[in-house]
Amino acid sequence: MGLLSGTRAVVTGIANKRSMAWGIAKAFDREGAQLILSYQSPRLKENLDKLLSELSQDPLVLPLDVVEENSVDQFIAELSSAYPDGIHTLVHSMAYANREDLEGRFVDTTRDGYMMAQNVSAYSLTALTRGVLPLMEKAGSGSIMTLTYQGSVRVMPNYNVMGVAKAALESSVRYLAYDLGRQHIRVNAISAGPVKTLAASGVRGISAALHDVADKSPIGENITTEDVGNAAVFLASDWAKRITGHVLYVDSGLHMMGFLGG
Ligand SMILES: NC(=O)c1ccc[n+]([C@@H]2O[C@H](COP(=O)([O-])OP(=O)(O)OC[C@H]3O[C@@H](n4cnc5c(N)ncnc54)[C@H](O)[C@@H]3O)[C@@H](O)[C@H]2O)c1
């Protein structure tokens, strides 16, 4: 028996084997959750198909592009017809900003670039949560989680518009947690340290961020997607049943450090 035996978990945002979402899917699989996975585009589905043999199950795999309203509706409709008894867990692991908005000055962000980052990286959590709500009500309880980064609360040069989107995302976590708490649906965020994923490679300075964790964090080691997966198992499990509206840092402790000397 794993910690998540008897639960059904939707994991979005797997682009390849380096994705945070893949670390989470593998940890959920290990703990006995039944998985439903999504992919953004046919090209990414090819990547996902190659990974599936690493799992102990053959999960339902569905397309989902969160900027397309129809795609979100179709995704929820397919989930509802496949699992009329409901689902227990939703992992929101996606973000996007135009490359030119992830360098230089934040003040130069265009309206379109700002809206794009908010749409994919923040609003999609609310849209997906609203969609899965009836399914979690059927299941009797639920755990929703998203992935965020410390650039929401501190200035990280080059993170720019994504930091502002992550601030909106973390605030959404709190408002959603308030809305859904009485239905025993919890909403939390994992604030992960840097990992060289596809999305992270679009952020200038990712190498410096990795160096900072190894050099300046209390634990002095970079994190892995397995670490994120294990934290996600905890948040999905009953051991976290009184934890909601929380941002859980998985960053070797770097977030608490100041940088005056030392
Ligand atoms: N890698 C890091 O250092 C780091 C640190 C903290 C938080 N995060 C967060 O983790 C999450 C996952 O990113 P990752 O680092 O695993 O990179 P990744 O590139 O592996 O995953 C990003 C995912 O977002 C998906 N996505 C983008 N636009 C989408 C859309 N319109 N519809 C549906 N899906 C869409 C992509 O398909 C991809 O699967 C993001 O929210 C990211 O900000 C990453």
Q: How do residues 230-261 score in pLDDT, each as one tens digit? A: 999 999 999 999 999 999 999 999 999 987 66
Candidates 181, 190, 172; CA nearest to 248 is 190
Distance 94 CA to ligand 1 centre (A): 4
What is the tally of structural domains in the chain?
1
**CB distance 10 to 79 below 8 Å:** yes
User: Other CB atoms closer than 10 Å to residue 248's CB: what's the count?
Assistant: 19
164/156 Cα distance (integer angstroms): 11
Asked whether residue 21 is domain-assigned, the answer is yes
Q: 58 in a domain, yes or no?
A: yes
260 domain residue, yes or no: no
Query: Please, what's the b/e burial string for 211-245 (b: 16 or more CB within 10 A of its CB; e: otherwise)?
Result: ebbeeebeeeebbebebbbbbbbbbbbeebeeebb
CATH number at residue 208: 3.40.50.720
The tally of CA atoms less than 13 A away on the side-chain side of residue 261 is 0
Residue-level pLDDT at 203? 86
The pLDDT score that the predictor gives to residue 213 is: 95
Domain that holds residue 35: 8-252
pLDDT for 165-191, tens place per residue? 999 999 999 999 999 999 999 999 999
65 is in an annotated binding site: yes
Residue 262 has pLDDT above 70, yes or no: no
Query: Which residues line the pocket of ligand 1, CB cutoff 6 A?
Result: 13-15, 19-21, 40, 44, 64-67, 93-96, 120, 147-149, 192, 194-195, 197-200
User: What was the pLDDT predicted at 248?
Assistant: 98
Q: Whose CA is nearest to atom 10 of ligand 1?
A: 147
Please identify every residue annotated as catalytic.
Answer: 149, 159
